[in-house]
Amino acid sequence: MHFEPTGPSPELDAVFRFANARFVLTSSYDDWTGPSRDWLTRELEAARREEPDGWLFVVMHEGPRSSGPHGDSEALRDAGVDRLLRRLRVDLVISGHDHAYERGDDDGLRYMVSGGGGAPLYPRRSARSHSKVFRSEYHHVRVDVERDRAAFTAVRPDGTVLDRAVLRHDGWEDMRRDEAPPATPTALHATTPDAPSRPWVDFDTLVKFSPLFALVSVLAWAARRRAERK
């Protein structure tokens, strides 16, 4: 494992390497016309020279694509970063900014938005043909990276799977998505058509306790008569 804070903003720009996977972490709060774009270009070109077939991930706060309220990053597009990511075969751009979960592929620009860590969630603003999954739900994402595949699993706080897919160098392979969350306690006790509701007490119960009911009635009658004589 190797971590290098090498960018124009050492506290924000860095490269993290583990086996054949390289993560390039960079700040999004830039107009991408100066040092940040130059640094990103150098790092991506170096990664492809050193490991032409290795995994290459870019991590930034505001990514190039989103169907949420913030939408696509105009700064990245105008500075040609979209073209750079495609040209150097970046496998995936991981971002946040919009508080939701999204996964997509825009003509080779594969992206994932993971902003469901706890802040108020955002709704979907627009339907995009390149968006494969969009969910306004809390979640975290687990990734298992192998030589020729990276398996991504988005998990809700209750442990159910929101989305699951395998990424290969040529694109996504959808596996399974959106398992239903566990039923709430209210739902577990709700009446269903196959289990009709029953009265709170049945005939057998009345027969069983009829002697007690009779005794209570006699005692109540005796108490009333005694009160009337006084």
Rounded CA separation 228/230 (Å): 6
Write out the two tokens for 185.
Answer: 């306690």
Single out the residue of 112, 119, 169 nearest to residue 141, CA to CA: 112
pTM of structure: 0.73
The answer to which of 41-45, 96-100, 139-143, 216-220 has the lowest mean pLDDT is 216-220
- Examine the pLDDT at 202 and tell me if it is beyond 60: no
Each residue of 98-142: pLDDT tens digit? 999 999 999 999 999 999 999 999 999 999 999 999 999 999 999
Write out the two tokens for 83.
Answer: 């073209």
- CB count within 10 Å of CB 211 equals 9
Per-residue confidence band for 94, with pLDDT thresholds at 50, 70 and 90: very high
25 Cβ contact list (under 8 Å, min separation 6): 12, 13, 14, 15, 16, 59, 60
Question: What's the average model confidence in pLDDT over 15-36?
Answer: 87
CA dihedral 37, 40, 44, 49 (to 10 degrees): 90
Whole-number pLDDT of residue 177:
56
Buried b (16+ CB within 10 A) or exposed e, 85-110: beebebbbbbbbbbbbbbbbbbeebb
DSSP-H helix ranges across the chain: 35-50, 74-78, 81-87, 185-188, 203-208, 210-229
